A and B are shown apart, each in its own frame.
Chain A
Amino acid sequence: METLQNLALGFSQALTPDALLYCFIGVTIGTVVGVLPGIGALTTISLCLPLTFHLDPLLGLIMLAGIFYGAQYGSSTASILLNVPGSAPAAVTCLDGYPMTRQGRAGIALFVTTIASFIGGCFAIVLLIFFAPLLAQVAIGFSAADYFAIMLLALTAASTLGAGAPLKGLCMMVVGLILGLVGTDLNSGQFRFTFGIPALADGISLVALAMGLFGVAEILANVTSGQLPVLENARVTLRSMIPSREDMKRFWGSCGRGSVLGSFVGMLPGTGPTIAAFMSYAFEKKISKTPEQFGNGAIEGVTSPESANNAAVQAAFIPTLTLGVPGDAIMAVMIGGLLVHGITPGPQLITENGALFWGVVASFWVGNILLLILNLPFIGLWVKLLSIPYKALFPAVLLLICIGVYSVNNSAVDVVLTFVFGLAGFCLNRHGYPSAPLLLGFVLGPLIEENFRRAVLLSGGSLAPFIERPISATFLMLTALILALAGWHRLRKVPVKPVE
């Protein structure tokens, strides 16, 4: 009952005209900027943070949160339409979203993305409202050994993402793992593969890598194909956006699984939406009866990562607001915003600043509904983008990629890296080496190394915690099971399904 009273207090805060206005401004800026390639939620929030310093804390936070999930919604749009991800997590959406566009199903892809995002977001908000303190305790109970085991499972399960030959995918994954090593070794402080370039000391920028491999490589492939793609010239009617009954049947299950998985990954500090999206995609492919459709426009390949990444971003608020532990970099920036207002997040936030806490939580809901209203009519507009001739579109998209990558760290070196990865990705893709496993290896590699070494350090040089801790042992067993199954299929010479 108390929760409901609190919620009522929250809505009374979130439904004032001012709060609605700033929520609306936030989600609109977020959506528009999120659509732009390379500019994800983190960059947008960093850029807009100073704007909120002059606002009332509640309004500022509502606006920032709006930008945050608005960008998350928006970033899938360019993935689906142009195979240019709006942000790193949206790279996963490219895998099946873009094939859907090529099949003339762009409207449907955007529609289900919007709905899936909404469901994922709402699911995590429900968790946040009713179970936040409990879940935060669970999340914080995961030790380094457990993280290691989970990440290893994710890597194993997802090692053949997208379409293409499994061996080539594995090669690319290892390349990703290697690229993840670049920068300062977290344990010794030693610089690895930085070649004396200071900008590389912090590692390769994820955005630069994702934009190069997906955005630039895709454009180069189109430009050199001799025939520029004509993506869509059909008029978008409301009907062309509505998924068929068959689509919807596949939609609900994948969306539900994505929401659960995304919430779980999101509330673990130190993970984030990219990992959530990859994991749910891999999971969906694993349990699918038709895994061969993945990478060729499977609707589950769009809905499950989209619901997962939105659930993850909302679930990231669980440890932030209850323990003061930001789930990811974006949360850290938002906490900085609060500090400027003299408010410290943490367990006492709910008691001391109840109106603020519940106001923000309620505004999440308001914002998600605003986004739904905002996005559905936008779909037609976005699809019309495709009627711009490609030769006019791609130079502009390239410029937006440059700016987007630059804006993350205000670093020109990052843009040079995008160029390098674009060329390399183009060459490798041309020969059937997929980009997605590389990105996954890059994201998970550092986490795997870091947590493995930390677990060993914490146990004083023993490998025992990996087997002794129940969470870790369970996940390691699952990993072994997957590997054993793959080996078994090989041995039996079962017609090689793309099993990992």
Chain B
Amino acid sequence: MNSSFLGTILPMLFDGLKLTLLISIVGILIGFVIGSICGYLLQSDHPIGKTIASVYIWIMRATPLMVQALYGYYVIPKLLGIDLPSTTVGIMVIALNSGAFMSEIVRGALAGIDPGQKEAGVCLGLTDVQVMFNIIVPQAFKVALPGLFNQFIISVKDTALLSVIAVNEITHQAQAYAALSFKAIPTYTALAAFYLVFLSLLILLQRFVERKVGK
């Protein structure tokens, strides 16, 4: 590996990494909001909200992420007559996809809390909202945390699939470079190393947070 190779590939991969990080973080954050709302609706007795959440989750779980990306990039903007940049579509796909899986995690965590906890809260005169945020959420969050982190990790890896809609994330950058330079082995080795380092940091963060919350 000579220095001119590294001098070309590393800036490209770092550029891609920035976009991967942007899409992952923003996508997952929006996905977490969607997942929290839908997870709540799923275990509530709100008939309309429950139905909407169920249909959304069904569609997201029953189609591949790559197809969702293609559909979001090539079909939906056409139908709506608008122009969407690939990065925006990428963030939305990650958000909607991870949101669906996080809904199930949130639903399970909320449903797993002993109903006696809510009863104790309302019997002390707390409002439903106070019960939710002061009693249920702190307990459910702890239960949901491993599943949520697992989904974060999956979603970071899923951003690689966005290369099909020409999002210049890190995998797409590596593919472009490998095709031009014919240096597949070092390029993809470098790509794998980037993911390995970034995801290892996320796994370490997971351990840290779980230990912190677990006590």
Answer whether A and B are interacting partners.
no
CB within 8 Å of A: which residues of B? none
